[in-house]
């Protein structure tokens, strides 16, 4: 199943110049195999912190992508995409190995 409309800019090659919208293509085989986990992380203050957490999380089996949003001195967010479900305890351990603390979901 695919849902498509065009962006309307005329410069991207989509062929639509009537400003009817954005081109979106969804392939169920891609979306069904991806899992995302969001972690709240305390203690991160800089880009080096982001690099350390990203590196440790990417080493976990099944992790396909990591996006970290730094909130220096606050609670940062890491979105971890995996090809199959991964035990959150394993992700928490990876963050701990980088030297940071995952905030419990109920906190």
Contact indicator for 22, 5 with CB cutoff of 8 Å: yes
- Residue tagged 């400003």 (tokens): 19
Q: Is the pTM of this model over 0.75?
A: no
- pLDDT (tens digit per residue) in 92-105: 999 999 999 999 87
Class in CATH terms, 34-102:
alpha beta
What's the confidence (pLDDT) of residue 17?
Answer: 47
**Of 52, 53, 31, 51, nearest to 40 (Cα)?**
53
Partners of 78 in the β-ladder? 39, 68
Ordered by start, the domain boundaries in the chain are 1-32, 34-102
**Of 11, 8, 12, nearest to 22 (Cα)?**
8
37 vs 24, higher pLDDT:
37
- pLDDT (tens digit per residue) in 28-87: 444 456 899 999 999 999 999 999 999 999 999 999 999 999 998 899 999 999 999 999
């Amino acid at each position: 199943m695919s849902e498509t409309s065009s962006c309307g800019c005329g410069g991207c090659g989509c062929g639509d110049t009537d400003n009817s919208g954005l081109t979106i293509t969804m392939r169920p085989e891609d979306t069904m195999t991806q899992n995302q986990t969001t972690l709240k992380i305390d203690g991160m203050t800089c880009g080096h912190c982001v690099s350390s957490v990203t590196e440790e999380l990417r080493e976990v089996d099944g992790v396909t992508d990591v996006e970290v949003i730094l909130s220096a001195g606050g609670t940062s967010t890491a979105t971890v995409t995996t090809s199959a479900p991964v035990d959150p305890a394993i992700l928490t351990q990876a963050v701990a190995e980088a030297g940071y603390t995952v905030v419990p979901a109920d906190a």
